[in-house]
C-alpha cells in the first residue's frame, strides 16, 4: 500500500478522493440539488447494495471456474451447466424435504461428484491439450443443456426462500430526513444480505485454505509448476480431482443461490458461463481475489447501469471487459 502511494502519488490521490466521494454518497444526507440531478438516495443505495450482493453470486460461480483454471490450465466451458444442474438439484431437494439448508449440501455433493467424473473421464485423458479440452467442454455443455431441458422442461423454477429470510430489514443507513425531523433508514431484503455474507465467508475460507494450509500450499505450488510438484512425490492427480470437485461444488451452491433470489430455466447456464468468463477476465485468470474484485465490479456495473442508463445497461459490462483487456490484458489482480 505504502509502496503504491510512493510509486504512483497521482493515482493514489485520485483513488483516495474517489473513496471519499463514495463514502460521502453512502453516509451523508443528500442535498436537494443532488437528488434532483441523479435521483433519490434510496435508489442509489439500493443499486449499490444490489450490485454487491449480485457480485456475491457471481463470485461463487467464478471462483470455482478460476480455481480450476489456475491449477489445471483448463478452461471448463461446461461450468455454466454445473451451475444450472446444481440449481435444479437444489430445487428438487427443497421441494421434497422443505429444507433450504439441506438443498445447499446436497447440491454441493452431487455437483462435486459430477466434477470428479468429468475430471476422471474427460480432462485426465487430454491433459495439456487446451483446444481439445475447450471443444469437448463446449460439446458437453450442449449435451447437458439438452438433457436438463428433457428432464426439467422449459419452465421456470424458483427455490422457496425459507420463511425466516422473507422480508426486509432496516439498515443503519440514512436515506432521508422527513420534514418532521424523523430519520428514514434504508430497508433492504434480508435474504440478499445473508447470501452475500455466505459468499464472503466462503471466499475468506477459500483464501485461508489456499494460503494457510498444507493442501493450499500444494495447490499453489501446482499453479506455479506442476511438473516439479509431481516430481517431489505429490500425488498430483488426486489434487486435480479434489480441486475440480471443489470448483464444481461451488458452482452447484451458486445454482441454489441463483434459484433462490432469481430463478432457474434453460439458458441460465450460458448466462452464468458468460458472467463468470467476464468476471475472471476482468479480475485475472486463476486469481481468487481477482474473481472477488471482478464479481463486485460486474455486479455493480449491471445494477447501477440498470438504474441510471437502462437502455445501455448490457453494454456496460462488456465495455469494462474491453477496457481491461486493452489496458491490463492479464486482468486487474493477476500476478505475472
Partner 1 sequence: MLKGSVGLIALGSLLLSGTAFAQEKIKVGVTATLEGTYTVLGEDGMRGFQAALNVLGKKIGDKELEFVVASTDATPDSAVRAVRKLIEQDKVQILLSPLSGDEGIAVKNFAKTKPELTFINAASGAQETTYVDPAPNFFRYNMDGAQWQVGLGKYAYETKGYRKIATVGEDYSFIYTQVFGLVLEFCGAGGQVTNRQWVPLGTKDFASVIAALPDDVDAIYLGLGGADAVNFLNQYQQAGGKAHLMGGSIMIDQTILSSKGSAKNALVGTIAASGQADTWEDPGWQKFVKAYQDAFPPAKRFPSPSLLATNYYGSTMALILALRQVNGDLSNNQAKLKEALAKIEIDAPNGKIKLDSNRQAIGTNFVTEVVDDGKGALFSKVVKVIPNVNQTLGYDPAVFAKIGLPSRTVPECKKY
Q: Which residues are at the interface with partner 1 (CB under 8 A)?
A: 39, 42-43, 46-47, 50, 53-54, 153-156, 158, 160-161, 166-168, 187-192, 261-263, 265-267, 302-303, 306-307, 310
Cβ nearer to partner 1, comparing 242 with 257: 257
**Are 161 and 103 within 8 A, CB to CB?**
no
3-class state of residue 171 by DSSP: strand
321 vs 274: CA distance, rounded Å: 12
Task: Decide: 148 and 84 in contact? Cβ < 8 Å.
Answer: yes
Quick one: 134 or 263, whose CB is closer to partner 1?
263
Measure the CA–CA gap between 233 and 194, rounded to whole angstroms: 42
Cα–Cα distance for residue pair 217/224, rounded to 1 Å: 11
Query: How far is it, in rounded angstroms, from Cα 263 to Cα 265?
Result: 7
Least gap, CB of 271 to partner 1 (angstroms): 8
What is the torsional sign of CA 115, 121, 127, 130?
negative
Least spacing, CB of residue 279 vs partner 1, in Å: 16
Q: How far is the CB of 258 from partner 1 (least distance, A)?
A: 8
Phi-psi region of 171 (alpha: psi -120 to 50; beta: other; left: phi over 0): beta
Beta-bridge partner residues of 185: 174
As given in the structure block, the three cell numbers for residue 41 are 438516495
* Closer residue to partner 1 in complex, CB, 176/209: 176
Least spacing, CB of residue 147 vs partner 1, in Å: 16
Considering only CA atoms, which of 154, 166, 189, 165 is closest in space to residue 84? 154
Work out how close the CB of 265 gets to partner 1 at its nearest, in angstroms, rounded to a whole number. 7
Q: Map residue 310 onto helix, strand or coil.
A: helix
Q: How far is the CB of 149 from partner 1 (least distance, A)?
A: 9
The least CB distance from residue 336 to partner 1, in Å, is 34
CB of 89 to partner 1, least distance (A): 18
Choose among 82, 182, 178, 176: nearest CA to 122: 82
Q: Which of 249, 210, 272, 333 is CA-nearest to residue 62?
A: 272
The three grid cell numbers given for residue 143, joined into one nine-digit string: 449435451
Amino acid at each position: 500500500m505504502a509502496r503504491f502511494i510512493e510509486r504512483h502519488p497521482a493515482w493514489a490521490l485520485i483513488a483516495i478522493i474517489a473513496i471519499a466521494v463514495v463514502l460521502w454518497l453512502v453516509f451523508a444526507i443528500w442535498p436537494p440539488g443532488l437528488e434532483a440531478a441523479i435521483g433519490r438516495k434510496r435508489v442509489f443505495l439500493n443499486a449499490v447494495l444490489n450490485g454487491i450482493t449480485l457480485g456475491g453470486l457471481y463470485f461463487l460461480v467464478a471462483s470455482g471456474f478460476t480455481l480450476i483454471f489456475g491449477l489445471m490450465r483448463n478452461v471448463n466451458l461446461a461450468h455454466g451447466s454445473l451451475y444450472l444442474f446444481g440449481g435444479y438439484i437444489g430445487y428438487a431437494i427443497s421441494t421434497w424435504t422443505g429444507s433450504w439448508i439441506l438443498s445447499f449440501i446436497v447440491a454441493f455433493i452431487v455437483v462435486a461428484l459430477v466434477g470428479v467424473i468429468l475430471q476422471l473421464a474427460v480432462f485426465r485423458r487430454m491433459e495439456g491439450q487446451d483446444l481439445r479440452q475447450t471443444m469437448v467442454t463446449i460439446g458437453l455443455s450442449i449435451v447437458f443443456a439438452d438433457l436438463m431441458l428433457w428432464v426439467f422442461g422449459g419452465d421456470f423454477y424458483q427455490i422457496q426462500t425459507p420463511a425466516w429470510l422473507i422480508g426486509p430489514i432496516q439498515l443503519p443507513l440514512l436515506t432521508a430526513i422527513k420534514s418532521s425531523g424523523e430519520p428514514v433508514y434504508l430497508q433492504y431484503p434480508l435474504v440478499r444480505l445473508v447470501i452475500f455474507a455466505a459468499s464472503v465467508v466462503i471466499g475468506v475460507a477459500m483464501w485461508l485454505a489456499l494460503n494457510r494450509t498444507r493442501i493450499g500450499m500444494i495447490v499453489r505450488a501446482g499453479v506455479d509448476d506442476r511438473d516439479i510438484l509431481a516430481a517431489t512425490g505429490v500425488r498430483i492427480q488426486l489434487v486435480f480431482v479434489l480441486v475440480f470437485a471443489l470448483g464444481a461444488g461451488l458452482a452447484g451452491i451458486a445454482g441454489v443461490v441463483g434459484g433462490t433470489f432469481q430463478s432457474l430455466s434453460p439458458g441460465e447456464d450460458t448466462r452464468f458461463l458468460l458472467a463468470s468468463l467476464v468476471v475472471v477476465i476482468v479480475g485475472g485468470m486463476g486469481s481468487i481475489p481477482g474473481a472477488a474484485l471482478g464479481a463486485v465490479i460486474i455486479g455493480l456495473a449491471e445494477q447501477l447501469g440498470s438504474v441510471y442508463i437502462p437502455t445501455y445497461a448490457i453494454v456496460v459490462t462488456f465495455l469494462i471487459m474491453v477496457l481491461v483487456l486493452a489496458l491490463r490484458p492479464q486482468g486487474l489482480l493477476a500476478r505475472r
